Chain A
């Protein structure tokens, strides 16, 4: 199913800076695999070796936590928007440093 994934800043180093990427996947397992083929290395920060999402990464589908939709069992629908949000979000060291250097003060 064609779906849209919104990429948080800490992961954009894998996506050449892209904040939104498209993918086709039936479920989370396929999504993680597909993203890893396109953006090598991204899978290991998205899920554990057994394919379960990282404990501190929240995944939303159309604004609903995927765990309320069946988690890894959930089947994506055409046009789903997937949001990846760290349980504790907020930039990266590099970006934080950058905006301070850029004169945010």
Chain B
């Protein structure tokens, strides 16, 4: 159980013009189109919810329920979150850094990516608003998570994806019975179609009209990092960016924890990671601007292939203001990053994880990341979902006969002794 249903949500507030709105299924300001942010009554939380009260709660994302926008008990995903924060000494040594941690959402429940967090919140809110049909546009991980959790929650589901998605992500969506619509086009075109659909049909499109609530789920990734570090904030964090939402929500989470006095104030530097073939946010950051110029994605990293990122402006802004940096890497470097993480720490991440590791390596080499400080790498999805990106790199492995001599000759380079 997740405890009582006291909620601390106050209202929605436009991030740009500060106009406020009631708690409704809307995501953008009517005046300036900017995203709406959920605002909580932090004074009440501070006085009514001591940090120590969390200790007895279940180890799931719902231990931070006062900072999530549900009025009622979660409808799905009750076991989601509280994934491991792993010290990564062998990776740190390989990269020449002192203290690296991996926040490992490759083992998130139920579908092995950080999207399980946002879907759990979005479907709870969809239920509260009375939607019986939900949907999303997705680059894959969101599709998987929505399909699974909507099945568990009893929703009708329409999921829109680019037609060229990895086969693993298509299977991992269809198996749950969701209606999967493959669209001939890139994610940005899929998303535009979804926006049109959301304007016509009264559905809960979780990353469109429920986006204000949905994206709040990402904050739990940040709360967990702080708690798992012993209620302190890391000095640096490297986050992969697609639409740019996750990095802004980790930033919001760290800010809330400081506001509540649950952690000491600290100035975490935020580093955004993209693939060079789709790098609208890091390109802006390198030019010291927040204004995003859209791109046409061309990269093996399909989960990050958003050329017109909805939260790109705010992602670029917070990176620049935090004193961090944005960097991008080639597809070859992504594969190297996946292999390095797997071979040093035994963690098989999807392509986005390869981006994060490769960008961290590049930033350390460039002197942008301080190797003497603590660094958290956000691992957001599981390598089993993007096997095709690396399988060709591993080379063919020939079978041997079931003979000791064959094994020794081929794998130990030992010439078999003459038979007696």
Contacts and interface: CB of A to CB of B under 8 A. Distances in A.
Interface residues of A, number: 30
Contact of B199 (A54, A57, A90): A90
B64 to A, nearest CB: 24
Contact of B308 (A65, A91, A97, A104): A65
Contacts of A45: 30-33
Nearest to A9: B199
Given A65-B188, A85-B192, A99-B202, A105 B28 contact: no
Contacts of B189: 63
Nearest to B21: A93
Nearest to A7: B199
A89 B24 contact: no
Contacts of A85: 192, 195-196
B33 A88 contact: yes
A92 B29 CA distance: 9
Nearest to B131: A104
Interface in A25-56: 45, 54-56
Contacts of B199: 8-9, 89-91
Given A8-B199, A85-B196, A65 B294 contact: yes
Given A9-B199, A65-B188, A99-B202, A104 B32 contact: no
A104 B24 contact: no
B310 A96 contact: no
B198 A104 contact: no
Contacts of A83: 192, 196
B314 to A, nearest CB: 11
Most buried by B among A56, A100, A105: A56
B30 A96 contact: no
Interface stretch (B46-54, B156-164, B203-211, B337-345): B203-211
Contact of B24 (A58, A87, A96): A96
B398 interface: no
Interface in B16-49: 16, 21-22, 24-35
Given A63-B189, A96-B25, A88 B30 contact: no
Contacts of A63: 189, 192
- Residues of B contacting A: mostly: loop
A54 B129 contact: no
A8 B192 CA distance: 12
Given A90-B28, A93-B21, A56 B294 contact: no
Contacts of B296: 68
B32 A90 contact: no
Contact of A93 (B24, B192, B205, B310): B24
Contacts of B16: 55-56
B176 interface: no
A100 B26 contact: no
Interface in A54-105: 54-58, 60, 63, 65, 67-68, 83, 85-93, 96-97, 99-100, 104-105
A102 B130 CA distance: 11
A58 B31 CA distance: 14
A90 B205 contact: yes
A57 B33 contact: yes
A89 B209 CA distance: 6
B41 to A, nearest CB: 21
Nearest to A85: B195
Given A56-B33, A65-B294, A88-B211, 13 more contacts: A54-B32, A55-B313, A63-B192, A68-B296, A83-B192, A87-B35, A88-B28, A89-B196, A89-B199, A90-B198, A90-B199, A93-B24, A104-B130
25 contacts: A55-B33, A57-B33, A58-B308, A67-B293, A86-B33, A87-B28, A87-B310, A89-B195, A90-B27, A90-B28, A90-B195, A90-B198, A90-B208, A91-B25, A91-B26, A93-B22, A93-B24, A93-B30, A96-B24, A96-B129, A100-B129, A100-B130, A104-B202, A105-B130, A105-B132
